[in-house]
C-alpha cells in the first residue's frame, strides 16, 4: 500500500460528513478522495461480514450512489482513490458523504456504519494567474508607518472612551473566559451568585474552543440599551447563537448577544394578539426545517455532541428574516458517545419532555427529537401544547393529533388562520414527521438528519405505525401525577413570561450563557 501511514486512521460518522473549502478561485478543480476500509477484517470471522455503503455528493450533486470501499478497493485494508472534477463558482467547495441507510449497522460492533474517509486532496485544474510585481521598499515602509499611526490613533480613542486602562478587569476577563467555555458539560451546576462557575470534569474534550469575545464597559452597554430600557429587552439571560462580548465590572456580569428582531417563536405564534406575527405556511415550514437543521448539527455534526434538554417555542428566536435560532443552552448536556444514555436530574419544561426522560431521567438526543415534534405540532396548529384546552379525549395538543390521526383527519390540525393558503402535502408530511418524533419508544424516533431530509422532500415520509406510538393510560396517569403538584406554577410561569413583551423565559445564571452558543452555528 502506497502512503500506508495516510490510511492508518480515518474520519467516520454514523450519518454524514461534510467538508468545505473556502476562498477558492472560481474554476475547475480535481478532487481526489482517499479511502481504505479499516473497520472490518479480511478473514472469515464474524467481523468480516460488515458492509458499508454511502453516497458521495460534490457541490450538492450526487456523484456516486451506494459507494462501497471494500468492493472498490478489492478487499479490506486496501487503498482506493476516486478522482472527481468540481466546478467552483462562488469561492466555495462542498464535499459531503451521507449514509442512506444501506449496509450493516452492528458488525463488528454497534454503530460501525456510515461514511468513512481517510484523506481528501484538491488541486486546481487551471493555471493560477501570475503574481503581481513586488512592491518597492519605500512603499512598504510607507504602508507600515500608516498602519502604526492608525493603530496608535485607535488605541488613543479606545483609552479616551474608557475601553483601555483597566488591567484588573482585563485579567478577570481572561481568567473568566476559561470557565465560560467549559460550561458545556453541565451548565446547570453554575451559580448566579458565584463569580466563576463550576468547572466540569470533561475539560480535555473542550480544549481549543476558546470564545473570541470582546470586553465592553458598563457605560457602553447602558448607552446601547438606553440604560436597560425594558422596551429593548428580549429576555433574561437569553442565549442566541452569536456571542459578541461581555462586561465584568464589580458584581455586574453581562453577556452581549446578537439582536433578534422578531423575539421568540412562542410570541409570534400564540403570544398577545398585538405581538403575534402573521406567519404564512411557507414561513412556518421554513422555521421547522431550520430548527431541525440546528438540532441535526448539535446531535450529529458538531465536534461536541450536545443534548439541548429544553427545546420549546420560547427558546427558538427569530431574526429579521424570520430565520429560527436555537437559544438558552442553560440546561444543555454533552452527549458522551461511549455511553448509551445519561442518567441525570430531570430539568426542562412540562409538556415538552420525552416520557423516558420525564419519568426516569433517561437522557439521550432522542429527548430533543421528542421536543422538536411538539414544537412542530405547535407551528402547524398555532397553539401551545401546554396551554391547549383539555378534554376527556385529549390531554394536550399531541393527544389531539393522535385523536385526529385515528379518524384519518390529520389536516384539521392545521391552524385555521391559514385558511386554505397552505400546501396540504407539506402539512401532512410535517404532522406525520412530528408524530414520528414523539413516538413513546425512543428507538423509533428518527435522527434529526433524517427529519431534515423528510421535511425537505429528499426522503419519503414512511407510513405511520400506531403500535407503540401512543403512551398507555397507566403511563399517562403517572406523568399527570408526577407533574400535578407544580403544573399550575410551571405552566403559568412559562405562558405569562413567554407571551409578554419581554420574550422567552430562561432563568439560567448569567455566567452560563454562551457556553455553547458559538458552537451551534444556528
Structure confidence at residue 277 (pLDDT):
94
Report the range out of 221-230, 294-303, 432-441, 506-515 with the highest average pLDDT: 432-441
pTM: 0.50
Among the listed residues 186, 310, 368, 399, the single catalytic one is 310
At 500, list the grid cell. Answer: 409578554
In the predicted structure, residue 502 carries a pLDDT above the cut 50:
no
At 438, list the grid cell. Answer: 414523539
| DSSP, residue by residue, 29-71 | EEEEEEEE--SS-SSSSGGGG--B-EEEEETTEEEEEEE-HHH
Helices assigned H by DSSP within 361-412: 365-381, 397-406
- Between CA 80 and CA 17 the distance in angstroms is 19
SS3 per residue for 68-104: CHHHHHCCCCCEEEEEEEEEECCCCEEEEEECCCCEC
pLDDT (average), residues 239-243: 52
Structure confidence at residue 321 (pLDDT):
92
Decide: helix, strand or coil at residue 233: coil
Contacts of 460 (CB under 8 A, 6+ apart): 454
Structure confidence at residue 499 (pLDDT):
37
The backbone torsions φ and ψ at residue 512, rounded to the nearest 5 degrees and listed phi first, read: -90, -15
Domain ranges of the chain: 8-124, 265-514
Given a contact cutoff of 8 angstroms between Cβ atoms, the answer to whether 170 and 158 are in contact is no
Could you count the other beta carbons within 10 Å of the beta carbon of residue 435? 21
The DSSP output letter for 208 is: T
Q: What percent of the chain has pLDDT over 70?
A: 68
**Nearest CA to 289 among 420, 461, 433, 405?**
433
State how far the alpha carbon of 510 is from the alpha carbons of 234, 293, 328, in Å: 15, 27, 11
Decide: helix, strand or coil at residue 459: coil
State how far the alpha carbon of 482 is from the alpha carbons of 318, 352, 495, 520, in Å: 33, 14, 20, 33
Exposure b/e, 243-272, CB count within 10 A at least 16 = b: bebbbbeeeebbbbbeebebbbbbbbbbbe
At 198, list the grid cell. Answer: 463550576
- Between CA 68 and CA 99 the distance in angstroms is 11
Count Cβ atoms within 10 A of the Cβ of residue 184 and give its class: 0-12 exposed, 13-18 middle, 19 or more buried: buried
What are the tens digits of pLDDT across the range 392-419? 556 688 988 998 998 889 999 999 999 9
Contacts of 281 (CB under 8 A, 6+ apart): 418, 421, 422, 423, 426, 427
**Options 2.70.70.10, 2.60.120.430, 3.40.50.300, 3.20.20.20; CATH of 8-124:** 2.60.120.430
The DSSP output letter for 264 is: B
- Between CA 517 and CA 522 the distance in angstroms is 8
In the predicted structure, residue 40 carries a pLDDT above the cut 60:
yes
Structure confidence at residue 93 (pLDDT):
96
Alpha-carbon dihedral sign for residues 294, 299, 303, 304? positive
Structure confidence at residue 175 (pLDDT):
43
- Angle between helices 473-484 and 487-499 in degrees, nearest 10: 80
CATH class of the structural domain 265-514: mainly alpha
pLDDT (average), residues 264-281: 92
Contacts of 68 (CB under 8 A, 6+ apart): 51, 52, 53, 103
What are the tens digits of pLDDT across the range 128-179? 776 665 677 888 888 999 999 999 999 888 877 666 655 554 444 444 443 3
- Between CA 210 and CA 80 the distance in angstroms is 37
In the predicted structure, residue 429 carries a pLDDT above the cut 60:
yes
Catalytic, 310? Answer: yes
Alpha-carbon dihedral sign for residues 297, 299, 305, 309? positive
What are the tens digits of pLDDT across the range 315-356? 899 999 999 998 877 787 877 665 555 555 666 787 888 888
- Between CA 450 and CA 366 the distance in angstroms is 13
Report the range out of 50-54, 103-107, 343-347, 356-360 with the highest average pLDDT: 50-54
Given a contact cutoff of 8 angstroms between Cβ atoms, the answer to whether 114 and 67 are in contact is no
| DSSP, residue by residue, 283-338 | HHHHHHHHHHHHHHIIIIISSS-EE-S---GGGEEE-TT--EEE---TT-EE--TT
Q: What torsion, rounded to 10 degrees, do the Cα atoms 369, 370, 372, 375 define?
A: 180
Comparing 88-102, 437-451, 468-482, the range with the smallest average pLDDT is 468-482
Amino acid at each position: 500500500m502506497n502512503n500506508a501511514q495516510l490510511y492508518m486512521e480515518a474520519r467516520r460518522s454514523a450519518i454524514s460528513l461534510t467538508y468545505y473549502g473556502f476562498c477558492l478561485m472560481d474554476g475547475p478543480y480535481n478532487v481526489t478522495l482517499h479511502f481504505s476500509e479499516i473497520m472490518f477484517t479480511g478473514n472469515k470471522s464474524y467481523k468480516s461480514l460488515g458492509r458499508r455503503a454511502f453516497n458521495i455528493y460534490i457541490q450538492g450533486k450526487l456523484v456516486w450512489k451506494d459507494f462501497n470501499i471494500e468492493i472498490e478497493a478489492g478487499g479490506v485494508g486496501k487503498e482506493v482513490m476516486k478522482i472527481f472534477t468540481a466546478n467552483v463558482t462562488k469561492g466555495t467547495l462542498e464535499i459531503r458523504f451521507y449514509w442512506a441507510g444501506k449496509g450493516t449497522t452492528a458488525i463488528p460492533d454497534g454503530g460501525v456504519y456510515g461514511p468513512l474517509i481517510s484523506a481528501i486532496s484538491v488541486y486546481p485544474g487551471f493555471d493560477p494567474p501570475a503574481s503581481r510585481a513586488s512592491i518597492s521598499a519605500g512603499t512598504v515602509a510607507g504602508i507600515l508607518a500608516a498602519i502604526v499611526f492608525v493603530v496608535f490613533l485607535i488605541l488613543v480613542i479606545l483609552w479616551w472612551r474608557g475601553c483601555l486602562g483597566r488591567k484588573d478587569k482585563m485579567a478577570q476577563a481572561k481568567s473568566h473566559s476559561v470557565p465560560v467555555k467549559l460550561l458545556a458539560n453541565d451548565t446547570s451546576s453554575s451559580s448566579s451568585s458565584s463569580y466563576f462557575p463550576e468547572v466540569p470534569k470533561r475539560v480535555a474534550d473542550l480544549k481549543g474552543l476558546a470564545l473570541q469575545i470582546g470586553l465592553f464597559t458598563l457605560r457602553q452597554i447602558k448607552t446601547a440599551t438606553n440604560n436597560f430600557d425594558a422596551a429593548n429587552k428580549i429576555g433574561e439571560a437569553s442565549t442566541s447563537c452569536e456571542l459578541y462580548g461581555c462586561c465584568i465590572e464589580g458584581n455586574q456580569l453581562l453577556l452581549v448577544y446578537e439582536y433578534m428582531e422578531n423575539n421568540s417563536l412562542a410570541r409570534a405564534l400564540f403570544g398577545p394578539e398585538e405581538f403575534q406575527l402573521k406567519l404564512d405556511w411557507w414561513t412556518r415550514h421554513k422555521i421547522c426545517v431550520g430548527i431541525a437543521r440546528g438540532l441535526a448539527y448539535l446531535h450529529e455534526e458538531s465536534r461536541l455532541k450536545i443534548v439541548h434538554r429544553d427545546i420549546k417555542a420560547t427558546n427558538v428566536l427569530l431574526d429579521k428574516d424570520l430565520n429560527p435560532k436555537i437559544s438558552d443552552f442553560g440546561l444543555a448536556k454533552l452527549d458522551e458517545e461511549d455511553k448509551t444514555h445519561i442518567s441525570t436530574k430531570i430539568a426542562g419544561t412540562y409538556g415538552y419532555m420525552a416520557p423516558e426522560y420525564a419519568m426516569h431521567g433517561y437522557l439521550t438526543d432522542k429527548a430533543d427529537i421528542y421536543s422538536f415534534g411538539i414544537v412542530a405540532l405547535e407551528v402547524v396548529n398555532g397553539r401551545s401544547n401546554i396551554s391547549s384546552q383539555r378534554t376527556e379525549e385529549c390531554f394536550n395538543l399531541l393527544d389531539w393529533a393522535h385523536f385526529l390521526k385515528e379518524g384519518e383527519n390529520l389536516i384539521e390540525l392545521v391552524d385555521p388562520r391559514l385558511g386554505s393558503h397552505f400546501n396540504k402535502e407539506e402539512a401532512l408530511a410535517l404532522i406525520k414527521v412530528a408524530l414520528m418524533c414523539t413516538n413513546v419508544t425512543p428507538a423509533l424516533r428518527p435522527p434529526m438528519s433524517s427529519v431534515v431530509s423528510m421535511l425537505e422532500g429528499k426522503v419519503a415520509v414512511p407510513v405511520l405505525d400506531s403500535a407503540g406510538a401512543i403512551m398507555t393510560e397507566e403511563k399517562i396517569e403517572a406523568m399527570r401525577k408526577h407533574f400535578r403538584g407544580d403544573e399550575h406554577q410551571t405552566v403559568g410561569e412559562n405562558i405569562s413570561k413567554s407571551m409578554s413583551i419581554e420574550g422567552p423565559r430562561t432563568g439560567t445564571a448569567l455566567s452560563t450563557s454562551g457556553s455553547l452558543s458559538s458552537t451551534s452555528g444556528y
